[in-house]
Amino acid sequence: MTYYLTALTIGIMGSLHCVGMCGPIALAVPLKSNSTGYSYLGSFNYLFGKAITYSLLGLFSGVFAKMIELTGFQRYISVFTGILVLIIFFFQKISTYNLGIEKLNLKWVTLLKAQFNRFIKEKNLISAFFIGLINGLLPCGLVYIALAAAIGAGGWWQSMLYMFIFGIGTMPLLFGLMIFKSRLSISLRSVFQKAIPTFTILLAVLLIVRGLNLGIPYFSPKIITAKHKTTIECCLKPITKSK
């Protein structure tokens, strides 16, 4: 459960980034009716579509993690992903000024934008959901950090759940933006911007410690690999044999 809280926190802390990158798309989601209830449902469909895409991406990262586990290197997954999070984080810091993952003009991004235009014309609740599905596939450094962390979740369905929870975490701020069409105050933006780097580094450290096999309950459980079987000692009480 502690590990999944990191997914929720990444989503919440990184939602300011989502507002900056996906906010214009969210505000552009068209609906036939202007009624309050219809607007709420349309906004939810869009955000839920994004969360579904994130969970499917988590499935792929979980399958990759399972392949590594079958090779007997399960204990190194968290260390690897922790280092990967740090690499992505520092790459993002550099790309703010020059490279920009989200700004890469890739061919498949152009194809996604073409699909955007198709569903935007339909202006209904189903099209709002599909716009969210497509939006979740756009290049995003924040999503890549979450995916790197999802690799260490423990299996394919755990990785799916991790990314779905991440998607849920990004919802509140974007939902508020879509409903109230308001802009965040400068002070609130500052708080988010300062918190994101700190939390990302803490997440990377947690992943690395988790994979060091230190035997610390919840944070670094002992991983025991036997023939054809891997078990994790987390919070179980030791079993004593009676005479």
Digit-coded pLDDT (tens) for 167-214:
999 998 888 878 776 555 555 556 656 666 777 787 778 778 777 766
Classify burial at 180, counting beta carbons within 10 Å of its beta carbon; exposed 0-12, middle 13-18, buried 19 or more.
exposed
Name the one residue in this structure whose structure tokens are 């991790």.
162
Into how many domains does the chain fold?
1
238 is a domain residue: no
237 is a domain residue: no
134 is a domain residue: yes
178 is a domain residue: yes
> Residue-wise over 4-23: b if at least 16 C-beta within 10 A, else e?
eebbbbbbbbbbbbbbebbb
41 is a domain residue: yes
> Which domain, by its residues, includes 186?
2-216
Q: What is this structure's pTM?
A: 0.72
75 is a domain residue: yes
Give yes or no for a contact between 79 and 207, defined as CB atoms under 8 angstroms apart: yes
70 is a domain residue: yes
Classified as helix, coil or strand, 164 is helix
* Distance from C-alpha of 76 to C-alpha of 56, rounded to nearest angstrom: 24
Digit-coded pLDDT (tens) for 15-61:
777 776 777 777 778 777 667 788 889 889 999 999 999 999 999 98
230 is a domain residue: no
